[in-house]
Structure 1
Amino acid sequence: MAVTAIQDVRDVLAAYPELADVAVLTHVQEPAGEVLVAYVVPSGPGLDLAALHKYVRKTLPGGAVPAAIITVDSIPLDAGGTPQPQALPAPDLRGLLPYRSPETPRQEALCTIFAEVLSRTRCGVDDDFFIMGGESIDAMLIASRVGPEVGLEISMNELFDAPTVAELDELLDRLSTNGG
């Protein structure tokens, strides 16, 4: 991850009014690889993490959105003023998977729909709607776009039950076999 990208993410988070301090670091998490993790110090009690996540997803391009935002009491710094990653809590990134490319035209179309609706630079077939920050309104938008794109209608609840492109593709196979 480029240093300027890390600084850009840090600047976006630092502009959030409920934060007193911010550090953005890269972590290597197998099998996902290198990801951004943000450590934030609230400026007061009652930080709304859901609102912060929403702000970050709306402000940053998908690839720059941190994989995790962790609240801490302070950002430990070394003598040079650089955050000390070893002094910060390790993020729990178990839900992240490596990128897997779409293998069929329908999977390609579904990946494009997921990426566009969730404001991501790309979406792999195993990327989970919920882990990518999907909410009910996003599910409605995806469901409304899938029908015209692939010729089979799905409901928001079906997307909740099949939250990855791979699972949704399998569901669409079943629906087409059963007559839609």
Structure 2
Amino acid sequence: IAGAGVTRGYLNRPELTKERFLDDPFYPGERMYQTGDLARWLPDGVVEWLGRTDGQVKIRGYRIEPGEVEAALRQIDGVRESAVVARTEGEETKLYAYIEGHDQQTVRTELTKRLPAYMMPSSFIEMRDWPVTPSGKLDRKALPAPAEAAECRAYTAPRTITEMKLAQLWEEVLKNGPAGIRDHFFEQGGHSLKATALVSRISKEFGVQVPLKEIFAKPTLEEIAAVIQELDESPYAAIEPAGKQDTYPVSSAQKRMYVLQQLEDGGVGYNMPAALKLTGPLDRARL
């Protein structure tokens, strides 16, 4: 099969063979879902997922259509051209916005008024010359990689020991090239989860507890370094493993989730299925 329209219900039906599906893909009285997924049926009966028929991507649990972000960018006064591309680096997918006609700080500020935080691009890259195909259309694959754009931004090196250590932590969290003291955490690809990771590393490295809200209020490396220097020392304490026992107490949130699951009479709304491929000898006891 090729194209959209494959449903979970069909894939879970053991009696549904390739021949049965092609002969009559519809079950009277049952609902079909347009998933937007592109797949093909292999000779051994396995359905192989090839991607999407649209540009939709999944970022930190949210399904996002880059075209919607582009449309919001074009509504900003002064933006003459824009493009939004999703790039996957390692296990993380990010949105990158390419803009012309306005500086990235102004565009970011205006875009936050139009889009929720999870749809905000990780980085804004200012363009002068756009790559085009022989037919004159935008060549998205030829747009400069974020690392190339990072080399073009102004860089001011750290001056103090605190700024140097913080810059190293910053680079470990953002993985976005050398960090200068004028760099803005969220403009360089940061978000709330990465801000939490930065706070944790600061606690371990400097022995101080930086409130998460300070990362949002003072997001440049220089400002965060100043906050660190003003805080009283609060030694980092690692969480110790619990002792081995047959049962463990659960949190209030876990109790609530269990009660909701029982009320739904066996619903699977809280199930998060995943498939993992393991290589090498398997220690079944540890698994």
Q: Deviations over 1:7-57 (max 9, x none)?
A: xxxxxxxxx9655xxxxxxxxxxxxxxxxxxxxxxxxx7636599556369
Are residues 97 and 174 of structure 1, via their aligned partners in 2, closer, same or farther at CA, if it must alter by over 3 Å? farther
Q: TM-score of the superposition, structure 1-length normalised? A: 0.51
1:59–1:121 CA distance, 2 compared to 1 (3 A)? farther
Alignment of 1:128 onto 2:128: no
Return closer, same or farther for 1:56/1:68 CA change in 2, 3 Å cut-off: farther
Cα 1:159–1:54 change in 2 (3 A) is: farther
Q: Which amino acid aligns with 2:125?
A: A
Q: What residue in structure 1 maps to residue 164 of structure 2?
A: 108
State the shift of 1:163 in Å. Answer: 0.7
What is aligned with 1:68?
A: 125
- 1:17-96 pair list within 5 angstroms: 18=54, 47=67, 49=69, 52-53=85-86, 55=88, 58=92, 67-68=124-125, 76-77=132-133
Is the Cα contact below 8 Å between 1:101 and 1:125 reproduced in 2? yes
Q: Which structure would you say has the larger Rg?
A: 2
> Secondary structure of the equivalent of 1:100?
coil
Find the aligned partners of 1:146 and 1:105 in 2 and give their Cα distance: 14
**Contact 1:152–1:172 (8 Å) recurs in 2:** yes
Work out whether 1:172 is the aligned partner of 2:228. yes
3-state SS in 2 of match to 1:55: strand
Following superposition of structure 1 onto structure 2, how do residues 148-167 of structure 1 map, counting pairs within 5 Å? 148-167=204-223
**Root mean square deviation of aligned Cα:** 4.2
Q: Which runs of 4+ in 1 moved over 4 A?
A: 16-19, 48-54, 74-79, 81-84
Structure 2, unmatched stretches of 5+, are 1-50, 56-64, 71-83, 95-121, 140-148, 235-287
Higher relative contact order (CA 8 A, sep 6+): 1
CA positional deviation for 1:129: 0.6
1:119-167 residue CA offsets vs partner (Å, 9 max, x unmatched)? 1121111110111121100000000000121121112111111111100
CA distance in 1, matches of 2:195, 2:160: 22
Cα separation, 2, equivalents of 1:173 and 1:76: 49
Between Structure 1 and Structure 2, how many residues are aligned? Answer: 120
**1:86-109 superposed Cα distances (whole Å, 9 cap, x missing partner):** xxxxxxx9xx95111111121111
Name the aligned partner's letter for residue 197 of structure 2.
L
Distance 2:155 2:198 in 1: 20
For structure 1, which runs of at least 5 residues remain unmatched after alignment?
A: 1-15, 20-44, 85-92
Give me the identity figure in percent.
22
CA separation of 1:46 and 1:133: change in aligned 2, threshold 3 A: closer
Q: Which amino acid aligns with 1:130?
A: F
Normalised by the length of structure 2, the TM-score is 0.34
